[in-house]
Each structure stands twice: as structure tokens, then as C-alpha cells.
Amino acid sequence: MTRHDVTLEWPDGRTQEIEVDGKETVLEAAQRAGARLPYDCRKGTCITCVGRLIELEDGRDEPNDDGAAASDANGTEAPRDAAAAFTYRRSPAALTDGEQADGYVLLCIAHPQADCRIEVGPRVRAGVGDSPWA
């Protein structure tokens, strides 16, 4: 069974590494490990559980020619496309294609496809719009 190590990172600097097996979502593995993450619907429709992919740890990140991670004009590390790093139990219809391209992922229905680091917490939720069904 495929397993991936996922590091959860909160804005206050706390981190927790969890192991996610192939049949679990990130939220299920976090709860099994005792990590407290916000959630509500468990169907990927309310956006309460949203996280943001910070880094893939399988070598798929392509560094710039100078070896540095890609960054935008402000020097901020460029977002990672979550669509390449996760499969979903069902379509993440509450996220736009642009939000997914900016690294946002619905943790209640997401299965990681590689070891990765994910930013979690209320600041991440503030970065996306409201659920289209709210």
C-alpha cells in the first residue's frame, strides 16, 4: 500500500508530520494522528478544510537555472499546482481551477500522490473565496 509523509504547517510555526496511506484523505490521517484541523461537510463543498500545498518532496519541483525554487516578482515562492499532487475522492468543485493552480487543496477529500508540506489554518481559508454553495 502506498503511503506518503505529509507535513502540516501552522502559521504559528508548529509542524506535525503525518503518514497518509493510499485509502485515507489528509484529514482522516490527521485526525488519526491527533492533529486538529478545521472541517465541516467532509464532501469538499464547504471549503472549511482547505489547505495550501507548499512543497512537493519527491523531486517534481523544478528549480530555476540557479537552483532556487521558482518565485514571483516579489520574491515570494511560487505556488505549487495542487492538481498535480493530489487525487480526490470526488471532484473538488468548491475550488476554482485557478485556486487549485495556486496550490489550494480540500483536505477532507484529498489523497496525496507524493510526500509534501501543506500550510493549514485560518489564514489559508482567508485566501480563497466562499463556497459557491454558501
Residue 97: which H helix or E strand, with range?
Answer: helix 97-101
**Contact present, 54 and 64 (Cβ < 8 Å):** no
Cα–chain center distance at 90: 16
pTM: predicted TM-score of the whole model, two decimal places: 0.83
| Strands ordered across the beta sheet of 116-119 | 15-21, 3-9, 116-119, 50-56, 104-106
54-82: pLDDT as tens digits? 999 865 554 444 434 455 455 555 668 88
Low-confidence ranges of the chain (pLDDT < 50): 62-69, 72
The three three-digit cell numbers of residue 70, written as one number? 521558482
